[in-house]
Amino acid sequence: MFCVSSPPLSGGYRWALATKTTTNVSTKSRTRGSSLSIRAENKSYLNVNNNRSSPLENNKDQLLVACIQAKSGINVSNEEKDSVEEVIQSVEQYQDKDANIEDLAMGYWRVIYSTAPPPSNGQVIGPIVGTAFQSINKDNATYENVLAVGNWLTLRLKATYEVLENNRWTVTFKSIQVELFEKKEPVFVKDFPEGTTREWLTTFQDEEWRIVRAGRTEKELMNNVFVMRREKPWWETY
């Protein structure tokens, strides 16, 4: 979620996802030996044993497998994105529209998959890949996107948010800073131009999972998805 964008959408994206149809990719059209043949070639335990307490929990399991197989969205093909998107939507359909998104979003989230450009998916440059987290503090309506590469490099984007509707927020980027070797004081800070904003649409949120569509336009909202799971980063566990 480090991507910068223009002012928020004038129209509400709402729940277009509920009626969105995704291109079905047949097994025959997929590349033979693909690491992400979720529905067909790859018969994992979770694919053939749906034994959790509810269809939602089974779909969450499928989504976790899909995100791992897709390597967090790094260098994936369009066919692979379509396969993961299908599983994402299978979870989104269970969103509780009466849930308080802001209350549930409070805390730390690890980004396990994203179709937005790097470094949103954890890729810094080339083969250098880190771990992306998001933290949300509703007490002062702030959040941070943090990308950590081991304990030697940390990129930290600081921002604020405004709740327009329960599941639709406008976020405003404030600054990005670079930290080295677990030092709390940044070695570099750059402020964003005033009014650097984007829109978030939360399409699924519970205590464990968070799925957000983000962008400037409705097309970007459809294409840029972030799948996150609740997890406290290691630098907050000491």
Q: Report the distance separating Cα 226 and Cα 238, nearest Å.
A: 27
Residue 9: name the closest of 137, 138, 170, 152 by CA: 170
pLDDT above 70 (res 8): no
Q: Report the distance separating Cα 113 and Cα 74, nearest Å.
A: 8
Residues 6 or more apart from 64 whose CB is under 8 A from it? 112, 229
**Which range, of 55-64, 88-97, 210-219, averages the lowest pLDDT?**
210-219
| Helix intervals (H) in 51-105 | 55-69, 78-92, 101-105
Tokens of residue 6, six digits: 């223009």
Better-predicted residue by pLDDT, 21 or 1 = 1
Strand partners, 174: none
C-alpha dihedral (96, 60, 231, 150), degrees to nearest 10: -140
- Residue 238's pLDDT is what? 56
Instruction: Give the other-Cβ count within 10 Å of 77's Cβ.
Output: 13
Q: Report the distance separating Cα 9 and Cα 201, nearest Å.
A: 11
Helix (H) or strand (E) holding 2: none
C-alpha dihedral (18, 167, 107, 69), degrees to nearest 10: 20
Tokens of residue 118, six digits: 């790097």
pLDDT tens for each residue of 175-228: 999 999 877 788 999 999 998 999 999 999 999 999 999 987 788 888 899 999
Q: Is residue 176 within 8 Å of residue 158, measured between CB atoms?
A: yes
Where residue 237 falls among pLDDT bands split at 50, 70, 90?
low
pLDDT above 70 (res 169): yes
Average pLDDT over residues 133-160: 92
Per the listing, tokens 């939507």 go with 89
